[in-house]
Amino acid sequence: MKDIAIEVKGLQKSFKQLHVLKGVDFEVEKGSIFALLGSNGAGKTTVVKILTTLLKQDIGTATINGFDVVSKPESVRQSISLTGQFAAVDEILTGRENLIMIAKLRHLTNPRQVADDLLNRFGLKDAAERRVSTYSGGMRRRLDIAMSLIGKPQLIFLDEPTTGLDPEARIEVWKVVKELSEGGTTVFLTTQYLDEAEQLADRIAILHEGRIIANGTLEELKNLFPPAKVEYVEKQPTLEEIFLAIIGKKEEK
Amino acid sequence: MDSIKKHFFSDMSVMLGRSMRHIFRSMDTIITVTIMPIAFMLLFVYVFGGAIQTGTDNYVNYLLPGILLIAIASGIAYTAYRLFMDMQSGIFERFHSMPIARSAALWGHVLTSLVSNAISVVVIILVALIMGFRSSAGVLPWLAVAGILALFTLALTWIAAIAGLSAKSVDGAGAFSYPIIFLPFISSAFVPTETMPTVVRAFAENQPVTSIVEAIRALLSGQPVGNDIWVALAWCIGIILVAYIFAMRVYKRKAA
């Protein structure tokens, strides 16, 4: 039997007249990267909020590491960490202070050491004493993710981690996610970018109009479509590739 | 569950430390909270004061309690603002998805409100001393004054919590404080109520600020406090209870 980190059955949720989730089912294996793909307003964030105990579903069940999100929220919160859609960092505090604050709230014995380690790991050492309000979008996201790693949660939720980031910062975030997964952490991420799911995820589920309409590995999803036709096209570099090639020479700050 | 309860106070002190840093890093909040009441005090003492007949020879003594209440009323607008910003920024979601007591985040703001208002009250009393404020009160009456002001701050803080938690915009979060700032003007804070028209006088004498002002004034001048202190306490505690229940209801609704 495989180890299941997240199990969701028949999840439904309405906001007043709006029936956002109409019966969502999926499982996430321990240690894997699971991407929930969907357009804006598909209900991805609602799923994340239910799984992270911020919102209660109307119908259906969701369990995290075997703990029900409704009846055992404290046990769920012990094993998860959330990086929300909008960087949940304190703008007025410095990067270091943000990390120390979360380490203290996780009741770790050496908050300063934890903060220093993460600042180094996420390339924020030089900006450690600056207020977060002066950070760029990418730095903010890295700090946000760093804050989520404090206390070594077994399961990390990333809600649209790269929305609004420039291509460089996106690739940095991808690198972090891959490292996390290699370290054994289960990663649940939502995204509206197909290439992001393609790059990162072991399994991809597509949420559309309140239901999961496809769920599988990239290969399995590709098999759902008719076999690829062979066409001859001249491969032009994408603007993203050009952009990255030009700035690639520039040393990282 | 037990570990969450055990850590409640340490979690809350982390929250307090966080929002106290916010206060000290945005000096404009301290300035607006203390400068405006001090300006009122200067205006009333040195401009209007000569023409106001209060039956006392020291108008600063007469005025100070009302000025302190105005300071607290403008201070809690920032409590609502800070709470609103936390709700918006997503940092509350982070806290709420962590294994910490959910109310710790809210209580952190409440404590911050108490501490920051205490600071501005002390600053204003120091300025009043320079302007000639004198009190014959001993330690106990001063403690009683501190207690009443703390209860008044708590009462307004929980009202601010309702506003900050349920507001849709930054302006909405702070707007509730304007009528509260004006309440002392329609009370015995600046002038005795005897000269007011009947309807205004009836309002002035039966609204919470008058009994609070009268109780503090009596305590500071060593006069018997009479009924005022009990009326003042009843108002404060009544408002605290009602506002707390509503604020917690909004908080639970917003934070599932």
pLDDT value of position B241: 96
Q: With beta carbons under 8 A apart, name residues in chain B contacting A78.
A: 99
- Consecutive sets of 10 residues in chain A, 253 residues long: mean pLDDT of each? 84 89 91 90 90 91 92 90 85 94 92 93 91 90 90 91 84 88 92 88 90 87 74 78 74 47
- So what's the pLDDT on residue A38? 87
Contact B90 A86 (CB under 8 A): yes
Any residues with CB less than 8 A from the CB of B36 and at least 6 apart, and which?
A: B70, B71, B74
Confidence band for B136, pLDDT divided at 50, 70 and 90: confident
Q: A interface toward B at CB cutoff 8 Å?
A: 49, 52-56, 74, 77-78, 80-82, 84-93, 97, 101-102, 104-107, 131, 147-148, 157
Mean pLDDT value across residues B61-89: 91
Per the CB < 8 A criterion, the answer to whether B193 and B214 are in contact is no
Q: What per-residue confidence (pLDDT) applies to B4?
A: 64
**B94 in A contact zone (CB under 8 Å):** yes
Could you tell me which chain B residue has the CA closest to the CA of A145? B94
Q: What is the pLDDT of residues B196-237, one digit of tens each?
A: 899 999 998 889 999 999 999 999 988 888 888 999 999 999
**Rounded Cα–Cα distance for residues B26 and B32 (Å):** 11
Of the CA atoms within 13 Å of residue B19, those in its CB half-sphere come to 30
pLDDT at B256 over 60: no
List pLDDT tens digits, range B173-192. Answer: 888 888 888 888 888 888 88
Give the torsion sign (CA, A8, A12, A15, A19). positive
Give the chain B residue whose CA is nearest to the CA of A76.
B99
Q: What is the mean pLDDT of residues B80-91?
A: 88
**Strand A4-15 relative to strand A18-29, pairing:** antiparallel
- Band (pLDDT 50/70/90 cuts) for residue B1 is very low
Alpha carbon distance B35, B29 (integer Å): 10
Backbone torsion region of residue B151, taken as left when φ is above 0, otherwise alpha when ψ lies between -120 and 50, otherwise beta: alpha
Q: In what order do the strands lie in the sheet with A18-29?
A: A18-29, A4-15, A59-64, A67-68
Q: In the structure, what pLDDT confidence band is assigned to residue B3 with cuts at 50, 70 and 90? A: low
- Asked if residues A154 and A65 have their Cβ atoms less than 8 Å apart, the reply is yes
B21 touches chain A (CB under 8 A): yes
Residue B2 has pLDDT above 80, yes or no: no
Q: Burial level of B71, CB count in 10 A (0-12/13-18/19+)? A: buried
In chain B, the residue whose alpha carbon lies closest to the alpha carbon of A97 is B18
